[in-house]
Structure 1
Amino acid sequence: MRHVLFALIAAILFGTTGTAQALGPDGAASLSVGSARIVIGGAALALVAWVLSRRSSTALRDPMPGSPTSDMLSLHIPNLPEPDPQSSPVEKRRRAWPVVAIGAAAIVAYQPAFFLGTSINGVAIGTVVAIGSGPIITGALEWALFRRFPGFAWLAATVIAVVGIVLLSGAGEAGSADATGLLLSLAAGACYAIYALSAKQLLIDGWTPTGSVALIFGWSAVGALPFLLLTDLSWLATLDGVVMALWLGLVTITVASLFLANGLKALSASTVATLGLGEPFTATLLGVLVLHEVLSGRALVGLALVVFGLVLIGSLRARRPVPA
């Protein structure tokens, strides 16, 4: 149950992004803010990993592939090849680089896909498609790559929560959506799924939660830096801009990613993605309580369905026996 809580905390922190951006300076472009978020958060994660690695040689990697953590992870993805205990540290690091590159590229690509999708179809539909498709795509990729069906309980909880998100957003009330915008939002959901599976793969291969997110987000910060430098950065010259950038980078990336990685340590990527639907739930609550937005009756029903779906997936995990 502790790992379910970790994943939910990560979703809650991710859900503060929209409110923080709304309370920030008016002239800040979404792409500029998103790139700054990745650069600050990724650099901070890399710094945390470097400090921990100086204090302990096992801070980033578990030197014993047969540890209880590795055994637990093998239960979730049984057909994945086990790490080779005879491999040298250099070979293990070389094997990790393709996974890191794929995960980092997914994080960088998420920003333009998400923001372009919302600019075409609006924030409501774009966010619903991007975040709501994440669990489905993650489960499908996990099934295709590892030959592991996430389970009918996961499927039921995901469907209930996604329906709730659709109702919560009011999607479909304003007419049909543009196909190009939908494809871009689906691409954003796929980017999140690829990141979750990449982080999970590093954990299975012996990397610690801190090491896995530091590797992926650290290199994504390098990839996002050119995008940041090409945008208008005048908003960073204001106090509100600096506070917003630090919150988005340090809280919604650095802290949230550490919680997310610790959740992935003992949960399947598909389960974590479903729990991640708490992000739009949090964003909606903050919109009502902080930004004074008004919820319709349809949105209230959606809110209840999201809560039910998250509680269902959490209770199923809590009742599952813990491996010896």
Structure 2
Amino acid sequence: MVNLSTAFVVLAALCWGLSGGIGGILMADGWDAFVVSLYRGAIGLLFVLVWLALRPRGSGLASRRLWGWSAIAGLGVAGNFAFYFVSIAEGSVAVAATLMYCAPVFVYLVSFAFKLESPTPLKWAAIAVVMLGVVLLTRIYDVGAGSVTLVGAGAGLLSGLCYAVFIFGFKYAAPHGSPQAILVIAFAVLVTVLIWPADADQAVAVLSTSSWPLFVVLGVLGAGLSFILYIVGLKHTAPAVASILAMVEPITASLFGVVVLNENLVGLQIFGMGLILVTVTALSVTSSARRAQPLAE
């Protein structure tokens, strides 16, 4: 069961990585980033609704706290999807995926602000290394580089920040209901939020376009199947292991961008990507191990 759960987490990360590439293809064909995000979330909503219908016990839907924290999680995932695809449109899949992977850094910063975590020199050093990696990856030091715009870099970091909001919202909603109920509310909020900035004509045109199979695949891999696999897999996967396995997402997205979309990364960008991936993973593993230690004792 443990090996199967680990496989579920890997598959979820792989699906998320592929979804970035698929979104890149759609936006290269002229589709609006918000429309792409909307359909990704809407198809995800259908999946979790079926999951809730099949497993309705312990949903907690009568709890106000469940609704409140789930709504916050929904705002987080809406921003995560939208800013991620805006970052891809303004830069590249590889850069956007890696910047989004900075989410644990934002989790730490928010935890510091609310005194949920104690800041230490080692944590601040790790955050500084990640920021150096961001500078190298986005090449903001070279105005004429042209590979990533400031909007693309900012959107990528905001996608990570929004993912951190989703993590907090989901964490505080979890004691009040089932994961499927939380995701139903979160994705419903996502659809409600993203329907406003999305291009209305394009949103309708998706239903009759030849590109609709890609939208379906994006929704299934990027939201429907992946979130279910990840949550089920986490039940029997140590958080430290899950943090390492999560590296599959940015690596898959980067390979997709280079191989399929013909994106290029220079040496310093690859080095910056490595700094971010290794440091963020080490932060996540260290945090997970520390939280598990009192339980072991």
Question: Aligned in 2, Cα 1:208/1:264: closer, same or farther, shift over 3 Å?
Answer: farther
**Percent of aligned positions that are identical:** 22
Please list every run of 5 or more consecutive structure 2 residues that lacks an aligned counterpart in the other structure. none
Partner of 1:209: 179
In structure 2, the partner of 1:31 is 34
Question: Secondary structure in 2 aligned to 1:323?
Answer: helix
CA distance in 1, matches of 2:212, 2:247: 28
Distance 2:276 2:222 in 1: 21
Task: Determine the structure 2 residue equivalent to 1:224.
Answer: 194
Matching of residue 47 in structure 1 with residue 50 in structure 2:
yes
Equivalent runs, 1:43-192 vs 2, <5 Å: 43-53=46-56, 57-58=57-58, 60=59, 90=62, 93-114=63-84, 122-123=91-92, 127=96, 131=100, 133-145=102-114, 147-149=116-118, 163-164=132-133, 167-168=136-137, 170-175=139-144, 185-192=156-163
C-alpha distance in 2 between matches for 1:268 and 1:213: 22
CA contact (8 A) 2:45 2:188 kept: yes
Give the alignment's TM-score, normalised by structure 1. Answer: 0.67
Deviation at 1:100, TM superposition (A): 1.7
The 1-side partners of 2:217 and 2:29 are apart by 17
Going from structure 1 to structure 2, the CA distance change for 1:15 and 1:160 (only over 3 Å counts) comes to farther
Query: Which amino acid is the alignment partner of residue 187 of structure 2?
Result: F
Q: Does 1:194 align with 2:165?
A: yes
Query: CA offsets per residue over residues 29-65 of structure 1, 9 Å max, x none?
Result: 2221111111111222122112221xxx24x46xxxx
Sort the Cα spacing of 1:139 and 1:30 in 2 relative to 1 into closer, same or farther, 3 A: same
Aligned-CA RMSD value: 4.4
- The question of whether the paired residues in 2 share the 8 Å contact of 1:128 and 1:169 is answered with no
Q: Deviations over 1:247-272 (max 9, x none)?
A: 21111112222344457769999997
Shift of 1:195: 0.8
Q: How does 1:249-288 map to 2 (within 5 A)?
A: 249-262=219-232, 278-288=248-258
Give yes or no for contact 1:36–1:228 (8 Å, CA) kept in 2.
Answer: no
Q: For the residues of structure 1 that align with 2:241 and 2:249, how far apart are their CA atoms?
A: 14
Is the 8 Å Cα contact of residues 72 and 165 (structure 2) preserved in structure 1? Answer: yes
Residues 107 and 191 in structure 1, CA contact (< 8 A), matched pair in contact too: yes
Using the TM superposition, name which of 193-202 and 298-307 deviates more. 298-307
Per-residue CA shift, 1:74-133, capped at 9, x if unaligned?
xxxxxxxxxxxxxxx84xx112221122222233344554555666x6447983795155
For residues 268 and 229 of structure 1, what CA distance do their matches in structure 2 show? Answer: 41
**Shift in alpha-carbon separation, 1:157–1:179, aligned structure 2, 3 A:** closer
State how many pairs are aligned. 288
- The 3 A distance-change label for structure 1 pair 249 and 20 is same
1: CA distance, partners of 2:219 / 2:13: 15
C-alpha distance 182-323 of structure 1, shift in aligned 2 (>3 A) = same
Map of 1:64 onto structure 2: none
The answer on whether the counterparts of 2:34 and 2:194 sit within 8 Å (CA) in structure 1 is: no
Residues 201/221 of structure 1: CA separation in 2 closer, same or farther (3 Å cut):
same
Give the equivalent residue in structure 2 for 1:323: 295
Deviations, residues 231-253 of structure 1 (Å, cap 9, x unaligned):
414344234x2221112111111
Matches within 5 A, 1:5-24: 9-24=11-26
The 2-side partners of 1:151 and 1:45 are apart by 39
Cα 1:96/1:22, change in 2 over 3 Å = closer
Task: Quote how far apart the aligned CAs of 1:170 are.
Answer: 4.7
- 2:261 equivalent in structure 1: 291
Encode CA deviations 1:126-173: one digit per residue, 9 max, x unaligned.
837951552222222233336223877766666656655654555544
- Which secondary structure state, in structure 1, belongs to the residue aligned with residue 224 of structure 2? helix
Measure, in 1, the Cα distance between the counterparts of 2:223 and 2:265.
28
Give the residue type in structure 2 aligned to 1:220. L
**2:16 counterpart letter in structure 1:** F
